[in-house]
Chain A
Amino acid sequence: AQTVTQSQPEMSVQEAETVTLSCTYDTSESDYYLFWYKQPPSRQMILVIRQEAYKQQNATENRFSVNFQKAAKSFSLKISDSQLGDAAMYFCAYRSLEYGNKLVFGAGTILRVKS
């Protein structure tokens, strides 16, 4: 079974600084997708960034980038120039391509941004 682990229940960052959120996963599949989602207090789930496992290049979306280490099964999210609006719960997620698009989430990391 695929599992996703986020070992940091909470993280804090000063406004304008950089923070990295960790995520590891376990799978026997060779091809899959990885995602980071943001959930603000409204509970809405917002896609932040995605990574296809077959791509070696790390995905980047503006201030958000990932460090994808396939052999280590690690997928961390780096947020640069942190803003107050980045404060939220962040979820790492894995989507299987073999098991009917099964989509599994980690437990989440609460990110607090200090002004």
Chain B
Amino acid sequence: NAGVTQTPKFQVLKTGQSMTLQCAQDMNHNSMYWYRQDPGMGLRLIYYSASEGTTDKGEVPNGYNVSRLNKREFSLRLESAAPSQTSVYFCASRTNHNSGNTIYFGEGSWLTVV
């Protein structure tokens, strides 16, 4: 059972470099999310996508871009990484049915910007 798969799991970047975090789900879910988790600040929503072809900003979108390539995939791009973007990033998905209250999270991607 793959569920939500994120890559890479660990990455070290230099300030100014760019990179893309990949996320894919195999559960035919409509909604997908990107969060970052920092000590003392919990999970903060970066971007979300309610369906294929749509994306919306969350609480902390600055410095990030996203692409909902198809129903399965939702990528997060850092165009010019900054030390403030050092964090653990989580991708999540859920069905849009009202009964879809279970949110499936990926295992997280540990990103360090030096």
Contacts and interface: CB of A to CB of B under 8 A. Distances in A.
B40 A33 contact: no
Nearest to A104: B45
Give the interface size class of chain A: 20 to 34
A115 B100 CA distance: 36
A45 B88 CA distance: 14
A99 to B, nearest CB: 7
A1 B61 CA distance: 14
Contact of A102 (B43, B44, B58): B58
Interface residues of B, number: 26
B107 interface: yes
A27 to B, nearest CB: 14
Contact of A9 (B40, B43, B58, B105): B40
Given A100-B48, A105-B35, A47 B56 contact: no
Interface in A13-62: 33, 35, 37, 43-45, 47, 50
A82 interface: no
Contacts of B108: 43
A104 B59 contact: yes
**Nearest 8 A/B pairs, CB to CB:** A100-B50, A107-B42, A105-B43, A108-B42, A45-B105, A101-B31, A50-B101, A101-B50
